[in-house]
Amino acid sequence: KLKIAIIGFGNFGQFLAKTIVKQGHTVLAYSRSDYSEVAQEIGVRYFSDADDLCEEHPEVILLCTSILSTENMLKTLPLHRLRRSTLFADVLSVKEFPRSLFLQYLPPDFDIVCTHPMFGPDSGKNGWTNLPFVFEKVRVGLDLTRDKRVEAFLDIFRNAGCRMVEMTCASHDKHAAGSQFITHMMGRVLEKLDLEDTPINTKGYESLLNLVDNTARDSFELFYGLFLYNKNAMEQLDRMDRAFEMVKKQLSGYLHDLVRKQLMLETSQDHVGSINGKSIEKKLMLPSPNTPSKIVSNDFNEKKHDLVMINDSR
Ligand code: NAP
């Protein structure tokens, strides 16, 4: 069993701690705010001083801080009080960023594993079975015991039933920008619409309401971190912008076409008029291959019998 110190004992840190404690590991915690009471309820030893926690020589330091505060937290942790071979892990929702921070700030003797449990207190409240857990063993010393310690740490998630996905931090960020960031973005946009429960909710609408509920519960700082510290997020935001415009144009283009045809129908109802020098007449007939006139719009199935013909003969 491992002695694990959770740094950042907020929403997600506490959520993870419950399962880690249940599996029989010793859990210590340190955070900016005072969580001593909630820690006691979970069975975690809480430290309000980072020096005191590090002097307990945890084998694993698990960073559960917000993305934005991680660098500062890492810089201020008294690393010199830890054992030289300590394993550092994180659960940040972006991966290239903590990976490079760890490599930059941690002494070369420390082992590094970057992870992202792809679930949260809401989606994982009924257990972690089949929920994806992404990890990259960034740096693990050659010593066999170090490898075993990494595996013992990963076993927490393996034993809880997670689907273990080993992938590089770079690949994670690429995939996550196209999936997780878009999900959060849509949730935040829909939240701004103040969607209401109605007596005639469709299944689709229910899932939109659930999306808003799931994403709005996460802190805005987390969402902002997903955007700021994933270099692929900006590209996805641009794609969403373009997609929104495209669909809008598609709709207004269709509408424009419909209105134009309606106008042409009205003007040609009783007499033969002219548009751009071309005479127009309305004929209530199906097109025949022998019809000499040129059919300019027959793309509306429901108007098959009501075609507008433009007679090319002036
Ligand atoms: P969060 O808002 O991203 O992070 C809250 C944590 O960051 C708290 O422990 C908070 O400490 C600490 N923190 C914030 N600002 C700080 C500062 N200036 N100095 C020191 N500590 C600071 O919310 P979260 O949901 O708990 O997420 C924690 C981490 O888990 C994030 O990196 C997130 O990406 C990752 N994660 C979250 C989920 C999820 O579903 N929520 C899922 C997977 C991964 P205090 O509470 O003591 O202020």
In ligand 1, the atom with minimum distance to the C-alpha of 219 is 2
Q: Report CA(285)–ligand 1 centroid distance (Å).
A: 69
Name the one residue in this structure whose structure tokens are 């960023």. 97
CA–CA gap between residue 259 and residue 265 (Å, rounded): 10
Name the one residue in this structure whose structure tokens are 């590090």. 54
Strands 26-30 and 45-47: what pairing? parallel
Is pLDDT at 67 greater than 60 in this prediction? yes
Share of the chain above pLDDT 70, in %: 85
Name the one residue in this structure whose structure tokens are 């927490």. 156
What the block records as the tokens of 309 is 């013909």
Fold of 3-167: Rossmann fold (3.40.50)
pLDDT digits (tens, 9 = 90+) for 216-247: 888 899 999 999 999 999 999 999 999 999 99
Which residue has its alpha carbon closest to ligand 1 atom 3?
66
Which residue has its alpha carbon closest to ligand 1 atom 19?
69
In ligand 1, the atom with minimum distance to the C-alpha of 14 is 26
Q: Report CA(7)–ligand 1 centroid distance (Å).
A: 10
Residue, of 4 and 280, whose pLDDT is higher: 4
Give residue 47's pLDDT: 98
Pocket of ligand 1 (CB under 6 A): 8-13, 31-33, 64-67, 69, 73, 91-93, 117, 120, 218-219, 221-222
Give residue 281's pLDDT: 53
Give residue 194's pLDDT: 96
Pocket test for ligand 1, best of 12, 61, 63, 115 (most atoms within 8 A of CB): 12
In ligand 1, the atom with minimum distance to the C-alpha of 73 is 20
Q: Report CA(80)–ligand 1 centroid distance (Å).
A: 24
Confidence tier at 276 by pLDDT (50, 70, 90): low
pLDDT digits (tens, 9 = 90+) for 128-139: 999 999 999 999
Confidence tier at 299 by pLDDT (50, 70, 90): very low
Confidence tier at 275 by pLDDT (50, 70, 90): low
What residue spans define the domains of the chain? 3-167, 178-268
Q: Report CA(160)–ligand 1 centroid distance (Å).
A: 22
Number of neighbours of residue 1 by Cβ within 10 angstroms: 9
Please provide the average confidence, as pLDDT, over all residues in the chain: 88
Give residue 23's pLDDT: 98
β-bridge mates for residue 90, sequence order: 63, 114
Is pLDDT at 107 greater than 70 in this prediction? yes
| pTM of the predicted model over 0.85 | no
Is pLDDT at 66 greater than 70 in this prediction? yes
Pocket test for ligand 1, best of 15, 49, 65, 220 (most atoms within 8 A of CB): 65
Give residue 268's pLDDT: 72
Contacts 24+ apart (CB under 8 A), 106-110: 106/74, 106/79, 107/79, 109/84, 109/85, 109/141, 110/79, 110/82, 110/84, 110/85, 110/86, 110/139
Q: Report CA(67)–ligand 1 centroid distance (Å).
A: 7
